[in-house]
Amino acid sequence: MCGIVGATSERRVSGILLEGLKRLEYRGYDSAGIAVIDKSQHLQTIKRTGKVQALADAIDETPVDGTIGIAHTRWATHGGVTERNAHPHLSEHEIAVVHNGIIENHETLREQLQALGYEFVSQTDTEVIAHLIHHERKTHNDLLDALKAAVRQLEGAYGTVVMDTKDPERLVVARSGSPLVIGVGIGENFVASDQLALLPVTRKFIYLEEGDVADINRSDIKIYDSANEAVEREVIDSDVNYDAGGKGQYRHFMLKEIHEQPIAVRNALEGRLSETTVLDDAFGEGAADLFKTIEHVQIIACGTSYHAGMVAKYWLESMANISCNVEIASEFRYRQSFVRPNSLLVTISQSGETADTLAALRLSKEMGYRGSLTICNVATSSMVRESDLAFMTRAGAEIGVASTKAFTTQLTGLLMLTVAIGKYRGMNEQQQAAIVKALQTLPAKLEEAVELDTEIEALAPDFASKDHSLFLGRGNQYPIAMEGALKLKEISYIHAEAYAAGELKHGPLALIDEEMPVIVVAPNNELLEKLKSNVEEVRARGGIMYVFSDKNARFTSDDTMNVLNVCHCDEVIAPIVYTIPLQLLSYYVAIIKGTDVDQPRNLAKSVTVE
Ligand code: G6P
């Protein structure tokens, strides 16, 4: 979603800010802007719609020159994609502000500020912050005090960084609901919405907590908590490795990340299995004590992570002998749900910052859950910090907006969770050992699945001219069909819908004709015969099918059916293995359609607003 970078240094900061924006661009990217304070204490601002490169080109033509500055990539919420609506937003050419999040009472504040004579030039909620600070500055001698007074009036979520030409050595920042991290340099300091933005300039980071405000200059950082007490926050040495240009031999990050899945899953398994079971420690200290006491699992997530949760429900109920509900976070947080006794709340999130999922986690603390666990890819994220337990998926930085390796490593973690909980609920040693054995084969099976690359590329032209498609699966492959459909629509913009194959006759069969390709996920499992009946229902109505299946399932290609053989694998890991051909299919269809694969239109990697 939106990205923030700020820097105060002895050197020119525009290069640092631009590099930071490029590294954040994958999160949200309809426009970008930069503001610096120059030697004569004036604000120099440039904004552009489109990619960060457009901003970089503009700065090449008209360089901005300052040793303190802020910059932003925007993903529009309030107001269209225009230069006026891009950040930074200014007040009276003195105050400059960048902001992530949503100010919910912006309309009231706007009216109040207009009554005070402030003129608004954008349609954004952010502009109220700039004018509010400018207004508060009149009655507060100090910029930080003005910021504190302003944020007391804000409702909603914000991570914001502010500069003032009258106090040109300082960045003042506030966090409530949108993450901010301070980068500690030598004789220079930085701030960003994600440490990835700052890795070229520092490895030392301070994570602000909810309600913190901070005062940052070149040589000093002061932090105040929500009670306005000065606090020391730990400086963390980051070991994250991120090479912004790192597509390697691949044309897109997404393809690279698809191919990285065998290794990502190997990393996710590393050191977490014994010969016969899953080690409780994989989920953090105290996991065993918590798992012993729980009688129900409630999973909350969004998007692809929600699909991982849906697969986990099949696993947990069938193998760990525990009831499990899965819910989309934006629904869960706004309804009154019934909390079963001794429930474990599990959030699943690649980023650990998704606003709805994080809000659901926070809400659960007042609802009587026994404990919380997050399955997450970012160790420093809010969800990891705020959950009782965490399973780190170790997928490595995922840059493509469409999630791939984050998903398969989440599934790997959730299958391990099934054993970790199941062993306290009657899963016997042989059953545990059988799942462990299947997990150990997973990286090699994923390697085989990735090798289908060229075969799948050959299927892609059949889809590229279509407007719609239908994905079918049964059992734990139904969520995989949903994930396949999500991938296709995200990056190829083809309408794709997934159905549990048994539901076909209750409506979607009416859609079947030769213009509606039907993708069937059909591993050789106990539901195969049922699925074959569904396949016949489609065939009888002239549908064209693409069946992803195991050789032993005995589907044969003909005029109406294209069969793609996926490697034979243990049934329990089949949802993870069958994900890969569907990812590859959407990728190659998107290539033919010429879409922006890594940064599809209108989408963001990490959705930190509701
Ligand atoms: C966005 C991304 C999706 C992701 C979802 C949830 O919509 O584009 O790829 O699945 O957010 O994100 P999370 O970080 O919570 O897994």
Q: What is the 3-state secondary structure (H, E, C) of 73-130?
A: EECCCCCCCCCCCCCCEEECCCEEEEEEEEECCHHHHHHHHHHCCCCCCCCCCCHHHH
Spatial distance between the Cα atoms of 461 and 21, rounded to a whole number of angstroms: 35
pLDDT of residue 245: 46
The burial class, CB within 10 Å (0-12 / 13-18 / 19+), for 261 is buried
Neighbouring CB atoms inside 10 A of 71's CB total 34
Q: How far is the CA of 348 from the centre of ligand 1 (A)?
A: 10
Residue positions counted in the chain: 610
Residue 599 pLDDT greater than 90, yes or no: no
Neighbouring CB atoms inside 10 A of 289's CB total 10
This prediction has a pTM of 0.82
Among candidate residues 199, 202, 198, 205, the one with its CA nearest the CA of residue 234: 205
Spatial distance between the Cα atoms of 282 and 416, rounded to a whole number of angstroms: 9
Residue 90 pLDDT greater than 50, yes or no: yes
Pocket lining for ligand 1, CB < 6 angstroms: 302-305, 349-351, 354, 357, 401, 403, 603, 605-607
Catalytic residue, candidates 47, 51, 256, 605: 605
pLDDT confidence band for 198 (50 / 70 / 90)? very high
Residue 397 pLDDT greater than 90, yes or no: no
Average pLDDT, the chain: 94
519-547 pLDDT per residue, tens: 999 998 888 888 888 888 888 888 899 99
Q: How far is the CA of 607 from the centre of ligand 1 (A)?
A: 7
Mean pLDDT of 263-286: 93
Q: How far is the CA of 283 from the centre of ligand 1 (A)?
A: 22
SS3 of residue 451 by DSSP: coil
Task: Take residue 74 and report the two structure tokens written for it.
Answer: 């925007």
Rounded percentage of the chain residues whose pLDDT exceeds 90 = 81
Spatial distance between the Cα atoms of 82 and 221, rounded to a whole number of angstroms: 34
**Best probe residue, ligand 1, of 328, 350, 358 (max atoms within 8 Å of C-beta):** 350
Mean pLDDT of 469-474: 96
The burial class, CB within 10 Å (0-12 / 13-18 / 19+), for 237 is exposed
**Best probe residue, ligand 1, of 307, 347, 583, 607 (max atoms within 8 Å of C-beta):** 607
Which residue lies with its CA nearest to atom 15 of ligand 1?
A: 349
208-238 pLDDT per residue, tens: 999 999 999 999 999 999 999 999 999 998 8
Helix (H) or strand (E) holding 45: strand 43-49
Evaluate whether 247-427 and 447-598 have a shared fold. yes
The burial class, CB within 10 Å (0-12 / 13-18 / 19+), for 23 is buried
Q: How far is the CA of 354 from the centre of ligand 1 (A)?
A: 7
46-69 pLDDT per residue, tens: 999 998 999 999 999 999 999 999
Mean pLDDT of 601-609: 81
Residue 240 pLDDT greater than 90, yes or no: no
Mean pLDDT of 307-324: 98
Architecture of the domain spanning 247-427? 3-Layer(aba) Sandwich (3.40)
- Rounded to a whole number of angstroms, the CA Rg of the chain reads 25
Helix extents (H) in 231-302:
253-259, 261-269, 287-293
Residue 339 pLDDT greater than 90, yes or no: yes
Which residues, including other chains, have CB under 8 Å from residue 28's CB and lie 6 or more apart? 1, 2, 3, 73, 74, 75, 604, 605, 606
The atom number, within ligand 1, closest to the CA of 351 reads 14
Active site residue 605: yes
Spatial distance between the Cα atoms of 1 and 606, rounded to a whole number of angstroms: 5
Who wins on pLDDT, 87 or 543? 87
pLDDT of residue 122: 96
3-class SS string, 156-204: EEEEEEEEECCCCCCEEEEEEECCCEEEECCCCEEEECCHHHHCCCCCE
pLDDT of residue 244: 46
Q: How far is the CA of 304 from the centre of ligand 1 (A)?
A: 6
Active site residue 313: no
Task: Take residue 18 and report the two structure tokens written for it.
Answer: 């631009």
Class of domain 447-598: alpha beta
pLDDT of residue 242: 58
The atom number, within ligand 1, closest to the CA of 302 reads 6
User: Count of H helices and E strands in the chain?
Assistant: 19, 25
The burial class, CB within 10 Å (0-12 / 13-18 / 19+), for 188 is buried
Catalytic residue, candidates 2, 324, 376, 569: 2
Topology, domain 3-237:
Glutamine Phosphoribosylpyrophosphate, subunit 1, domain 1 (3.60.20)
**Best probe residue, ligand 1, of 258, 299, 351 (max atoms within 8 Å of C-beta):** 351
Q: Classify strands 171-176 and 343-349 as parallel, antiparallel or unpaired.
A: unpaired
For the chain, the domains span: 3-237, 247-427, 447-598
Which segment of 87-96, 452-461, 601-610 scores lowest on mean pLDDT?
601-610
Among candidate residues 162, 164, 217, the one with its CA nearest the CA of residue 188: 217
Integer angstrom CA distances of residue 301 from 70, 100, 312: 32, 21, 12
Which residue lies with its CA nearest to atom 4 of ligand 1?
A: 303
Which segment of 381-385, 477-481, 579-583 scores lowest on mean pLDDT?
381-385
Mean pLDDT of 539-565: 90
Q: How far is the CA of 109 from the centre of ligand 1 (A)?
A: 31
Spatial distance between the Cα atoms of 470 and 507, rounded to a whole number of angstroms: 12
Mean pLDDT of 167-179: 94
Spatial distance between the Cα atoms of 349 and 583, rounded to a whole number of angstroms: 19
